[in-house]
Amino acid sequence: MTKRNTYNEDEELTSRFNWHDYARLGHYLRPYSWRLCFVLITILIGNIAIILGPYLMKIAIDTAIPNRNLPLIWALSGTFLISLVIAFLCFRYRIWAITEIGQSLLIDMRTDLFTHLQELPFAYFDSRPHGKILIRVVNYINTLSDLLANGLVNLISDIISVLVTLIFMFAINWQLTLDSLALIPVLVLWAYLIQKKQRQAFRKLSDKQSNLNAYIHESIAGIKVTQGFAQEANAIQTFDAVADDNRRAYMQAVKIQYALGPGVQNISTITTALIYFIGIQQLGVVVSTGTLIAFLGYINNFWNPVINIGNFYNSLITATAYLERIFETMDEKPQILDAPDAFNLPPIKGDVRFNNVSFRYEEASPLTLHDISFHAQAGQTIALVGPTGAGKTTIINLLSRFYNVTTGNITIDNINLQQVTLDSLRQQMGVMQQETFIFSGTIMDNIRYGRLDATDDEVRSAAKIARADAFIQTLPSGYNTTVQEHGSSLSAGQRQLLAFARVLLADPRILILDEATAAIDTKTETLLQEGLNELLKGRTSFIVAHRLSTIQRADQILVINHGRIVEAGRHDQLMAMHGEYYRLYDSQYQMLQDQN
Ligand SMILES: Nc1ncnc2c1ncn2[C@@H]1O[C@H](COP(=O)(O)OP(=O)(O)OP(=O)(O)O)[C@@H](O)[C@H]1O
C-alpha cells in the first residue's frame, strides 16, 4: 500500500514500468486475434492496391506512352481505377473494425479495473484522493485502448507498407534503395536517445493530470463548504496553481515529444533530395525517367508509414506513463481476502466475542485499539460511547472485517471471522454508517439495495415498519421518486429512515449502526426512535450511540477512550460508579436530554 497522498503531492510509483509489462496487454488482445488477423489481411490487400500506382505509372511512362500503345494505356488506367476502389473498401473496413475492437478492449480493461476496485479494502480508498482513482478508470484507459486497437493495427499496417514498398523499391533499383535507407540508423539512434527523458516527462505529466483531477473532484464534493465559508476565491487560486503545474508538465513533455517528429520529417526530406540528386545525375545511364518518377513515388510511400511508426513510438512512450498507473492499481492486493481454506459462515445466532483485539491502521502508525475484549450475547444491544476519536467506529469496522485485526481475534457463534468467507459474513450483517449513502435512482431502488430480490410489496412493508413510508408518500412520485447521488433532495432524518428500511429488508442477524449526531426535530427524532426500536428487535446490535434513549436501553454500554474499554455495564451500573461514563453523561448527554 502506498503512503497517504493528496492533490498537491505527486503519487509515488510503487513499481516502475517494465517493458515486459507490454506483454500483459497481449492478454486483452487475445480474444480479438482472429478479427485483427482479418483486418491485417485487408490492410495488406489495400496496401498492395495503393503501391501498384507508381509501378503502373512507370510502365506507362517507359513503355506504353513512347510506343503509343493505346490498349496498354487503357488497361493500365483500368487497373489503376480498380486498385483505388479496392484500397478504398479495405480502408473503410479497417476503420470500422478497429473502432469496434477498440471499444470492446476499452470495456474489457475498464471492467477488469472496476471489478478489482470493488475488492480493494477501505484502506486503499482511505489513502488517496478519489479523483486519482477516477482518472485511471476513465482517462488512462481511454488512451490505452486507442493505442492498443488503433495504434497497434496502424503499426502493423505501416510495417507492412514499409516492407511491401521496400520490395518494390529493390525490384526497381537496389542502389537507389540503399541510398534511401542511409539515414535510418541516425533516426533510430535519435529515438533511443530521447526515450528516457520522454518517459520521465510523461510520467510527471500523468502525475500532474492526476493531481488536477483530484482537486476538481474534491472541490465539487466540498462545494457546499466552500460556498458556506465564502472561500470561492481561495478555491480558484488553488485550482489555478494546480492547473498551471499541469500546463508546465504538458509543455515540457510535448517539447521532448516533438523532438522526434521533425527529426523524422527532416531525414525524409534530405533523403528525397538525395534521391533527386543521385537519380538526375544517373538519368539515362542506369536510371530511366519512369524508374526515377516511380522511385520518388515510393520514397513518399516509404516515409509516410515511417513517420507514422515514429508517432506510434511516441504514443507508446506516452501511454507507458498511464499503463504504469493502471497496472499499479490492478496489482494492488485486496488485503482483506478469504483464507485459502475459508468456509461459509452458517446461519448465525449472533453471539459476538472480541478477544484481546488490538489494531493499527497503518504498519508504521501507533495502535488505535488496545486489547479490546467483550462478549455480546445473541440479541443484545451494545452501545459504544466515548469522546470523539476514541475508537468506536474502528471497533465496529473490525466486526465487518473492513479491516483485519492486528492481534487478537473476533468470533461470531464461536467461529473466528478470519476463517469464514467475507461474503457469507457480510450477508448476515447490516451496516449503517453515519453518513447514509443514497445512490442515484428511485426511492424504491435505494431501499431494495438491502436485498435485490425483494418485491415492491416487501420494500413498502419494510419502509412502513421503519417509519419511512409516511414521508415517502408525500414525495411527488412516492416510491418512484428519483433521488440524486448522496440524496441531496432529502433531509438528514429522511435519509436515515431510508437506511433503516434498507437494513430491515436485508434482515441481518447482526446490526451495526453508527448513529448520526445531527440535531433533528422532535417529530423526526420520535420517528427515528420508533424505526430504530423495530430495527433492533431480535438482533445483536452494535451502536455507536449518541441518542440518550438508545444508550439507556442498551444491554451493555462500552465506554471507549484512547482505544481502550475503560468501563462496561448498564446505564444505572455505570452511573453508580461515578467514573468516566458518569462524567461523559453529565457533560454531554445531560445537555442532549435538556434539548429533548
Ligand atoms: N481510515 C483511517 N486511517 C487512519 N486513522 C484513522 C482512520 N479512521 C480513523 N482513524 C483514527 O483512529 C482513531 C479512532 O477513530 P474512530 O473513527 O474509530 O473514532 P470514533 O470514536 O468513532 O470517533 P467519532 O465519535 O468522532 O466518530 C482516531 O484517532 C482517528 O484519527
CA distance 129 to 116: 17
Place of cell 519512369: 290
pLDDT higher than threshold 80 for residue 153: no
Q: Which of 506, 513, 527, 517 is nearest to 548 (CA)?
A: 517
Beta carbon of 390 within 6 Å of any ligand 1 atom: yes
What is the pLDDT at residue 240? 95
CA distance 591 to 586: 8
| Contact (Cβ atoms closer than 8 angstroms) between residue 410 and residue 354 | yes
Confidence tier at 557 by pLDDT (50, 70, 90): very high
Beta carbon of 368 within 6 Å of any ligand 1 atom: yes
CA distance 455 to 469: 16
CA distance 345 to 323: 39
Strand arrangement of the beta sheet that strand 564-569 belongs to: 429-432, 510-514, 540-544, 381-385, 556-561, 564-569
H/E element, 113: helix 70-119
CA distance 261 to 253: 13
Q: Cα–chain-centroid distance for residue 333?
A: 15
pLDDT higher than threshold 70 for residue 219: yes
CA–centroid distance, 566 to ligand 1, in Å, is 17
Give backbone dihedrals phi and psi of 62, rounded to 5 degrees, phi first.
Answer: -80, -30
Higher pLDDT, 338 or 406: 406
Higher pLDDT, 38 or 485: 38
Beta carbon of 402 within 6 Å of any ligand 1 atom: no
What is the pLDDT at residue 527? 74
pLDDT higher than threshold 90 for residue 195: no
- CA-derived radius of gyration, the chain: 35
Q: What is the average pLDDT across 266-276? A: 83
Q: What is the average pLDDT across 586-594? A: 67
Q: What is the average pLDDT across 461-470? A: 88
Higher pLDDT, 205 or 532: 205
**Residue bearing the CA closest to ligand 1, atom 5:** 361
What is the pLDDT at residue 53? 84
Q: Which of 363, 354, 353, 342 is nearest to 406 (CA)?
A: 363
Q: Which span out of 65-69, 70-74, 355-359, 515-519 was modeled with the highest average pLDDT?
A: 355-359
What is the pLDDT at residue 556? 95
CA–centroid distance, 365 to ligand 1, in Å, is 13
CA distance 344 to 351: 17
Using a pLDDT cut of 90, give the percent of the chain over it: 31
Question: Which of the residue ranges 71-75, 98-102, 282-286 would you say has the lowest mean pLDDT?
Answer: 282-286
Beta carbon of 389 within 6 Å of any ligand 1 atom: yes
Question: Which of the residue ranges 59-63, 110-114, 286-290, 469-473 would you say has the lowest mean pLDDT?
Answer: 286-290
CA–centroid distance, 393 to ligand 1, in Å, is 7
pLDDT higher than threshold 90 for residue 175: no
Q: What is the average pLDDT across 165-185? A: 85
CA distance 164 to 49: 11
Could you tell me which residues are beta bridge partners of residue 510? Answer: 429, 540
Q: Which of 432, 425, 414, 390 is nearest to 543 (CA)?
A: 432
CA–centroid distance, 390 to ligand 1, in Å, is 7
pLDDT tens, position by position, 424-438: 998 898 888 777 788
Q: Which span out of 230-234, 238-242, 511-515 was modeled with the highest average pLDDT?
A: 238-242
Kindly list the distances between the CA atom of residue 468 and the CA atoms of 310, 459, 495, 521, in Å, as whole numbers in the listed order: 63, 11, 9, 15
Same fold, 21-331 and 431-507: no
| Contact (Cβ atoms closer than 8 angstroms) between residue 173 and residue 295 | yes
Each domain of the chain, given as residue ranges in start order, spans 21-331, 431-507
CA–centroid distance, 560 to ligand 1, in Å, is 12
Q: Which span out of 97-106, 370-379, 531-540 was modeled with the highest average pLDDT?
A: 370-379
3-state secondary structure of 411: strand
The answer for residues whose C-beta is within 8 angstroms of residue 246's C-beta and 6 or more apart is 205, 208, 209, 211, 212
pLDDT higher than threshold 60 for residue 517: no
| Contact (Cβ atoms closer than 8 angstroms) between residue 161 and residue 300 | no
pLDDT higher than threshold 60 for residue 2: no
Residue 12 DSSP one-character state: P
CA–centroid distance, 155 to ligand 1, in Å, is 53
- Reported in sequence order, the residue ranges of 94-174 that DSSP labels E, i.e. its strands, are none
What is the pLDDT at residue 141? 87
Q: What is the average pLDDT across 216-232? A: 86
Beta carbon of 561 within 6 Å of any ligand 1 atom: no
pLDDT higher than threshold 70 for residue 487: no
Higher pLDDT, 444 or 264: 444
Q: What is the average pLDDT across 559-573? A: 94
Q: Which span out of 172-176, 356-360, 425-429, 590-594 was modeled with the highest average pLDDT?
A: 356-360
Instruction: State the SS3 of 252-306.
Output: HHHHHHCCCHHHHHHHHHHHHHHHHHHHHHCECCCECHHHHHHHHHHHHHHHHHH
Instruction: State the SS3 of 317-385.
Output: HHHHHHHHHHHHHHHCCCCCCCCCCCECCCCCCCCEEEEEEEECCCCCCCCCEEEEEEEECCCCEEEEE
| Contact (Cβ atoms closer than 8 angstroms) between residue 469 and residue 463 | yes
Amino acid identity, residue 171?
A
Mutational pocket test of ligand 1: of 126, 363, 388, 394, the residue with most ligand atoms within 8 Å of the beta carbon: 394
Beta carbon of 388 within 6 Å of any ligand 1 atom: yes
pLDDT higher than threshold 80 for residue 371: yes
Mutational pocket test of ligand 1: of 392, 435, 512, 564, the residue with most ligand atoms within 8 Å of the beta carbon: 392
What is the pLDDT at residue 590? 65
pLDDT higher than threshold 90 for residue 85: yes
Outline where 405-542 has alpha helix (H): 422-426, 443-448, 456-465, 469-474, 492-506, 522-536
Output the average pLDDT for the chain. Answer: 85
The CATH classification of domain 21-331, taken from the options 3.40.50.150, 1.20.1560.10, 3.40.470.10, 3.20.20.140: 1.20.1560.10
Amino acid identity, residue 231?
Q
What spatial distance separates the first Cα and last Cα of the chain, rounded to whole Å?
46
pLDDT higher than threshold 80 for residue 83: yes
Q: What is the average pLDDT across 17-44? A: 83
Beta carbon of 126 within 6 Å of any ligand 1 atom: yes
Q: What is the average pLDDT across 545-557? A: 83
| Domain spanning 431-507, CATH class | alpha beta
CA distance 181 to 302: 10
**Residue bearing the CA closest to ligand 1, atom 6:** 361
Question: Which of the residue ranges 262-276, 279-293, 348-362, 397-411 would you say has the lowest mean pLDDT?
Answer: 279-293
Beta carbon of 3 within 6 Å of any ligand 1 atom: no
CA–centroid distance, 394 to ligand 1, in Å, is 6
Q: How many Cβ atoms are within 10 Å of 77's Cβ, its own excluded? A: 13
Beta carbon of 393 within 6 Å of any ligand 1 atom: yes
Confidence tier at 559 by pLDDT (50, 70, 90): very high
Residues in the chain: 596
Beta carbon of 546 within 6 Å of any ligand 1 atom: no
pLDDT higher than threshold 80 for residue 5: no
What is the pLDDT at residue 541? 93
Kindly list the distances between the CA atom of residue 439 and the CA atoms of 205, 448, 449, 486, 528, in Å, as whole numbers in the listed order: 33, 11, 9, 6, 21
Give backbone dihedrals phi and psi of 593, rounded to 5 degrees, phi first.
Answer: -65, -40
pLDDT higher than threshold 90 for residue 216: yes
Confidence tier at 382 by pLDDT (50, 70, 90): very high
What pairing do the DSSP bridges indicate for beta strands 540-544 and 381-385? parallel
Confidence tier at 17 by pLDDT (50, 70, 90): low
Angle, helices 289-331 vs 70-119, to 10°: value is 10
Using a pLDDT cut of 70, give the percent of the chain over it: 93
